[in-house]
Amino acid sequence: MTAPLTTAPADLGTLDDAGFATRILGGDVRAAARLMRFIDDRHPRAVAILKRLHPHAGRAHIVGLTGNPGAGKSTLAAALVAHWRALGKRVGVVAVDPSSPFSGGAILGDRIRMAEHSLDDRVFIRSVATRGHMGGLSRSANDIAMVMDAMGYDPILIETVGVGQDEIDVVKVAETTAVVLVPGLGDEIQAIKAGLLEIADVFVVNKADRDGALRAEKDLRMLQSLGAHAEGRWEPPIVRTIAIQREGIGELADAIAAHRRQLAAAGPALLDRARTRARHVLESLVTDRVTRELGQMIDDATLDAIAARDRDPWSEAERLFAAIRHDRGPT
Ligand SMILES: Nc1nc2c(ncn2[C@@H]2O[C@H](COP(=O)(O)OP(=O)(O)OP(=O)(O)O)[C@@H](O)[C@H]2O)c(=O)[nH]1
Ligand SMILES: [Mg+2]
């Protein structure tokens, strides 16, 4: 990440949490990048600064872009960014896929694809690779998107491969999720298996230059017609794109915007999504903490006692849970 020239040579090391937050809200990309490293490293300062940014976020349209590996998500992301930039928007991109163009493990072709945006200070691109924590990927992506949101980037695109629960959880924080499919290969069926159909607000049939794009669209329509049709419910549109030729990108951007307009018009639906997002984040934070604390509380003596049948696991579970409940912490 190159700092914009307007940034004074900041000694970030001397800033306290409030100073950090002020810098970030003022648009300092270097300070934001530092915070994102804190987030990656699970540094305690990350939470302290995030708490200060939280009231300032909530304006951006967070858009999830997911689909099978190689479906063309990164190519679509680069094309969408170009489209939005041309409309004068400041765009954020959070790339979750470790093999994505924005991450360290990028393959050369991918990197070139996104290179046109890499020197543009109105585009903030950040990759997320944090793994190994339950829900870690999703929470890091959410935190990073929130930082961009607080800084005024809008829309914010989150690219994640639609394989594996942790990856799919990522788009639960998105307001609008676009699911990318490609013609042939029975992708439609794979999508159902992976639960991608249920989370789609917009379908993209990318690689429409290939045989079978119409067929794929028809198959999708058919599947949709089998689903439940609640009155007034949003029917996910199907957009055909050729990402490498940047065809259909305007239509895709329009479909994404239309979904948000519909959510906003529906009122309660938007509230529902916000509530679902809040629940997802809160549950993930609490679950993570409880898991960690439990890990520390369960000692070998207890395990041996249960194994030797001196104690029973139910009583021990009750005891542990009671201990967690009584340690209410600061309120
Ligand atoms: N023919 C054709 N190829 C495309 C199109 N869009 C992308 N590709 C190619 O498909 C390949 C994969 O594209 P990516 O954008 O890297 O796909 P991805 O979904 O981000 O892949 P992962 O991040 O690895 O899951 C690349 O070689 C692209 O050039 C398209 O519309 N038509
Ligand atoms: Mg990719």
Mutation probe of ligand 1 site: the residue of 73, 75, 99 with most atoms within 8 A of C-beta: 75
Residue where a domain stops, chosen among 217, 233, 266: 266
- Report residue 65 as tokens: 């872009």
Is residue 273, in this structure, part of any structural domain at all? no
Could you identify the atom of ligand 1 that is nearest to the CA of residue 97? 23
Same-domain check for residues 125 and 258: yes
Query: Which domain covers residue 298, as residue numbers?
Result: 280-326
Q: Which residues of the chain have pLDDT under 70?
A: 1-10, 97-120, 130-135, 185-194, 227-232, 328-331
Residue where a domain stops, chosen among 219, 241, 266: 266
Same-domain check for residues 156 and 216: yes
Q: Which residues surround ligand 2, an ion (CB under 5 A)?
A: 73-74, 97, 100
The predicted structure's pLDDT at residue 257: 97
Is residue 2, in this structure, part of any structural domain at all? no
Same-domain check for residues 201 and 95: yes
The CATH number assigned to the domain holding 65 equals 3.40.50.300
Residue where a domain stops, chosen among 216, 233, 266: 266
Pairing of strands 238-240, 202-205: parallel
- What is the 207 CA–ligand 1 centroid distance (Å)? 8
Same-domain check for residues 216 and 110: yes
Same-domain check for residues 23 and 40: yes
Same-domain check for residues 103 and 170: yes
Is residue 272, in this structure, part of any structural domain at all? no
Give the distance from CA 276 to its chain's centroid: 14
Could you identify the atom of ligand 1 that is nearest to the CA of residue 78? 15
Q: Are the C-beta atoms of 259 and 234 separated by less than 8 Å?
A: yes
The predicted structure's pLDDT at residue 82: 92
Instruction: Report which of 121, 104, 129 is spatially closest to residue 30, judged by C-alpha positions.
Output: 121
Q: Are the C-beta atoms of 178 and 84 separated by less than 8 Å?
A: no
Residues 6+ apart with CB under 8 A from 275: none
Is residue 3, in this structure, part of any structural domain at all? no
- Decide: 66 in ligand 1 pocket, CB within 6 A: no
Q: Is 269 left (phi over 0), alpha (psi -120 to 50) or beta?
A: alpha
What Rg do the C-alpha atoms of the chain give, in angstroms? 22
If one counts the domains in the chain, the total is 3
C-alpha span between 235 and 326 (Å, rounded): 47
Is residue 99, in this structure, part of any structural domain at all? yes
Same-domain check for residues 223 and 312: no
The predicted structure's pLDDT at residue 54: 97
Is residue 271, in this structure, part of any structural domain at all? no
- Decide: 127 in ligand 1 pocket, CB within 6 A: no
Same-domain check for residues 19 and 62: no
The predicted structure's pLDDT at residue 111: 46
Residue pLDDT, tens place only, 123-179: 998 888 755 555 677 788 899 999 999 999 999 999 988 777 777 777 777 889 999
